[in-house]
Structure 1
Amino acid sequence: MDAMAHFTLLARYNVWATARLLDAVRALPEEDYRRDVGLFFHSIHGTLNHLLVGEHLLWFVRFAEARSPTVALDAEVEPDRVQLDARLREGAARWAPLIASFKPDRWSGTLDYTTMRGTAASLPFAATLAHVFNHGIHHRGQITAALTTLGHPSPELDLVYFLQNPSQP
């Protein structure tokens, strides 16, 4: 599988997994949604905000616009849970069209950006894009563990379940 096909698949999986997770989170009472359950970003809400910051407000902008915005990784950029849900879904849907816009030689190049500490960085383009999707998988896993700990159903998010149903987004 070439890089374009591989990352398009990951972008589609990201949309599917994000939607399944957010559908499960919608059923949570407010108290459980905002409870500190020991996650790195404390609560499910805090972790979802971190996903919005990391995946969409930082990395997407770095890949799409070659800019390096500054926003704290633990910032509550969207306090309203309904709006946060919508922004995460919309953000996930933006990756596949962006990936489709990359020229073939881009995959073997670098992504040049400025870190949160103000340091210039240059990383392998494809590996850094893999990091973005891996990061989302990591934090969705934390949220599913929190759902289980709180006694709520947790969706199955394994990639193989997505692959078994080719009609997925």
Structure 2
Amino acid sequence: MENDVMQLFEYHVWANRLVFEHLRKLPEDVWDKELTTVFPSVCSLMSHIYSMDLMWLGVLQERPFHEVRALLMQLLEETKTESLENMEKRFEKAAKEYQDFLSECHPEKILTLAHPQYGSVNTPLSGVIQHVVNHGTYHRGNLTAMLRQSGHPGVATDYAFYMFTM
């Protein structure tokens, strides 16, 4: 199971890297061009994925809700106008932080997630990683739609494509 969780997370890292590789090939203005869609720009979408990833890492590290919420708000503010190059560096650093953390954890460790509005739930660490990956997949789908609406090709980041790279 440990390898399954790490492999799932490695897929998330692979897909994000593929996105950045693709974005670097597009015209520079694609990054921060204002759009009327789910997110106001590609930058804001990638800021959201990044910030949520780090918020969930804080949850995995069993930090209190108010701390991870404050971290989320701080990161969203810090990255709302981040350059493509710097955002990519942030993603790489976050991936390393996750990889270091996951290498030291047991995937079936039970965590209690507490939320002031929704209450609390016990879940294995692997369930949180599944959520992080699903969240990224969902929003990479948004990205493809946003790019196509702007007249640019999307990028295929499905798990099946990842399997062919292994």
Separation in structure 1 between the aligned mates of residue 163 and residue 96 of structure 2, nearest angstrom: 18
Corresponding position: 1:29 with 2:30? no
TM-score w.r.t. the length of structure 1 is 0.80
List structure 1 runs of 4+ shifted beyond 4 angstroms: 117-120
What is aligned with 1:147? Answer: 147
Q: Which amino acid aligns with 1:133?
A: V
Deviations 1:89-143 (A, max 9, x none): 221233233222113xx61512334x4x577533412322211110011111111
Shift, 1:11, TM fit: 1.2
Q: CA RMSD in A?
A: 2.5
Counterpart Cα distance in 1 of 2:147 and 2:122 = 35
DSSP-derived class of the 2:76 partner: coil
Gaps of 5+ in 1: none
Residue 64 (1) aligns with residue 61 (2):
yes
Structure 2 alignment gaps of length 5 or more: none
CA deviation after TM superposition for structure 1 residue 31, in Å: 3.2
Contact 2:11 2:159 in 1 (8 A): yes
Superposed displacement of residue 46, structure 1: 0.6
Give the paired residue count.
159
SS in 1 for 2:94: helix
TM-score, normalised via structure 2 length: 0.81
Q: Percent identity, please.
A: 20
Pick the structure with more helix per residue: 2
Write the distance in 2 (CA, Å) between the matches of 1:123 and 1:39: 35
SS in 1 for 2:73: coil
| AA of the residue aligned to 1:93 | K
2:14 corresponding residue in structure 1 = 16
